[in-house]
Structure 1
Amino acid sequence: MSHLTQEERDSLPDSAFGLPEKRAYPIDTRARASNAKARATQEYERGLLTSEERDRIDKAADRRLAQDD
């Protein structure tokens, strides 16, 4: 998984993020979707995300992971 540059990140549509209103947790690739799920769980356990936010990220990532590439 390659690092997103700011330019690449800015060019992604809101739908390519687990939390589109914050443009956080990119899920534009399968690798990033898997990473978003893992990071969301970690952030939730640290008290930095609500359970609702974690669930939204998981659902968005699961939809991306279910797609055929």
Structure 2
Amino acid sequence: MFITNVLLKKTKSKKIMVMMESVVSGHNFNYIRERLADKLELIRFDPFIQRESVYKEKKKIRSIK
């Protein structure tokens, strides 16, 4: 292996952007979390139903440096 291959190797980012979706209404928003953390589950205000509801992580959108 050449030394240039080692120097040009990309490092993984520490944070990722994920899509959070409301369990009740399906409202979505983006959230940033650590790559090594567990999947998120939040309680947050849902504008569609005008109450707090549970949001679960749906999918990864992109990496953030």
Q: Is TM more than 0.5 here?
A: no
Structure with bigger RCO (C-alpha 8 Å, 6+ apart): 2
Whichever structure has more helix as a proportion of its residues is 1
User: TM-score range, shorter-chain basis?
Assistant: under 0.3
**TM-score normalized with structure 2 length:** 0.25
**TM-score normalized with structure 1 length:** 0.25
Pick the structure with greater CA Rg. 2
Whichever structure has more strand as a proportion of its residues is 2
